[in-house]
C-alpha cells in the first residue's frame, strides 16, 4: 500500500512539473508578444507582417524549449495546431506581399 501511495505522489509531482513548464511557456510567450508590441508602438511602425513573423519565431523557439523526446504531454498537440495556424497566416502574408510586388490586383470579397 505504501508503494502505491508513493507512486501517486510521484505522479502528482510530475504533473506539477509539467504544469509549471506549461505556465512558464505561456508567460514567456506573453512577455515576447508584449516586447514586440512595445517596440512597434515606440517606433510608430505597426506592421502586421513583421508582428506575425516575430510571433511565429517566438512560438517555435518556445515550442522547441518545451519539447521532450520521450514524453508527449497533451498540451503539445494543441501547440502544434497553433503553430500550424500561424504558419498558414504567415504564408498568406507572404503570398499577398509577392502578389503586391508582382503588381497583380486581387479583389477580396
Q: What's residue 109's pLDDT?
A: 54
Place of cell 510608430: 44
Q: What's residue 6's pLDDT?
A: 41
Q: What's residue 34's pLDDT?
A: 93
Residue 98 lies in a domain: yes
Helices (H), the chain: 2-42, 48-66, 74-102
Considering the entire predicted model, what is its pTM? 0.61
Residue 84 lies in a domain: yes
Residue 109 lies in a domain: no
Residue 75 lies in a domain: yes
Can you give the residue range of the structural domain that contains 67? 2-102
Q: What's residue 17's pLDDT?
A: 54
Residue 32 lies in a domain: yes
CB 86 within 8 A of CB 62: no
What is the mean pLDDT for each group of 10 consecutive residues in the chain (109 residues)? Answer: 43 53 82 91 86 86 77 72 86 86 72
Amino acid at each position: 500500500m505504501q508503494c502505491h501511495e508513493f507512486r501517486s505522489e510521484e505522479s502528482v509531482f510530475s504533473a506539477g512539473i509539467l504544469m509549471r513548464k506549461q505556465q512558464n511557456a505561456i508567460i514567456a510567450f506573453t512577455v515576447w508578444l508584449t516586447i514586440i508590441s512595445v517596440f512597434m508602438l515606440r517606433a510608430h511602425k505597426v506592421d502586421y507582417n513583421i508582428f506575425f513573423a516575430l510571433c511565429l519565431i517566438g512560438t517555435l523557439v518556445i515550442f522547441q524549449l518545451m519539447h521532450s523526446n520521450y514524453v508527449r504531454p497533451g498540451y503539445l498537440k494543441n501547440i502544434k495546431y497553433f503553430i500550424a495556424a500561424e504558419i498558414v497566416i504567415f504564408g498568406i502574408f507572404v503570398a499577398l506581399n509577392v502578389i503586391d510586388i508582382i503588381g497583380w490586383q486581387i479583389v477580396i470579397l
